[in-house]
Every structure is written in structure tokens, then in C-alpha cells.
Amino acid sequence: MSRDHGSDHSNVVVFPPVLPASGFLLGVLLGKLYPLAPPGPVWLRLVGAAIACAGAAGFAWMVITMKRARTPIHNRKTPTTLVETGPFRRTRNPMYLFGTVFYAGMTLVAWQLWSLALLPIVTLAMHYGVVLREEAYLDRKFGNAYRQFKQRVPRWL
């Protein structure tokens, strides 16, 4: 498989994992400077671990589904097919949905309340800087097939 670094991709504002990683790390820094609360109870951290595991499992499901469809996962490469199986039957954006679930869970595990507080900002940045651009690209790339997919499958859940 050749690398495609040409112009046939979604032109998102930043490589998507940079947004949640930046939000989480900024939250850690803010937590060091301005602590919000003492460490949370063990049971809440365990709930966070379960949430993070659910996000990681969903993300793995999405990766397996895309690999089976033989289409690139990286958004700087040209997709070869419109994937409508696996988690894509329930959400058009399983990568970002499950990544957000993982992020939320990890904030509880690590008890990073600033990172949790930054999650809405991270989500909005992802929505406007990545998701909407990817959707516009997929509409151009796959046309009516993508428009029908959008009618059948919600953006998130």
C-alpha cells in the first residue's frame, strides 16, 4: 500500500489526537497550578477505568472494522471505501466518540478534574476543526452514498 500525502484528504486543522492530548495535558498543568480537589474515591476511579476500557474497546473495534474494509484510518490518506459496518452502523464518528469516552474515563482514573472540565472545549475543537471538515470531504468523495449514510446513521449516537 502506498502512502498518500497528496491533496485528496479532509484537510483537518490538526492531526486529531493532538486535540485531546493537548486538552488533557493542559488540564494536568492547571491541576498542578490550581488544584481543584483532593484525590477522588477509589470507586469513582474504578468507574473511570471501566469507562476508559469501554472507550478503548470501541476504538479497537473501529480500527479492526476499518482494516477489514482495507481503508486507511489516518485522515491524511485517501479513503478507499465508505465504511458502514461495525460501529459505523451506530455512529458516523466512532473514532472521536470512543476517543472522547476514553478521555473522560482517564480523567477520572488520573483524577484530572481540569482535564475533565476542558473536555467540552476539546470536543468543540474536534467538531469544528475535524469532524465537519471530514464530513464535507466524505460528501465530496462519496457523494450520494455518503448523503444516504448520513440520513441513516447519526453523527454521534
Q: Is the pLDDT of residue 3 over 60?
A: no
CA angle 69, 71, 73 (to 5 degrees): 115
Average pLDDT over the chain reads 93
CA-to-CA distance for 107 and 114, rounded, in angstroms? Answer: 8
Who wins on pLDDT, 45 or 5?
Answer: 45
Q: How far is Cα 38 from Cα 87, in angstroms, rounded to an integer?
A: 37
C-alpha cell at 121: 472545549
Q: Once rounded to an integer, what is the mean pLDDT over residues 52-58? A: 98
Rounded to 10 degrees, what is the CA torsion of 91, 128, 113, 109? 30
For residues 58 and 88, is the Cβ–Cβ distance under 8 A? no
Q: How far apart are CA 66 and CA 47, in angstroms?
A: 29
Angular region, 154: left φ>0, alpha ψ -120 to 50, beta rest: beta
**Burial label, 102 (beta-carbon count in 10 A; 0-12, 13-18, 19+):** buried
Tell me what pLDDT residue 67 has: 97
What's the pLDDT tens digit per position in 10-23?
Answer: 888 899 999 999 99
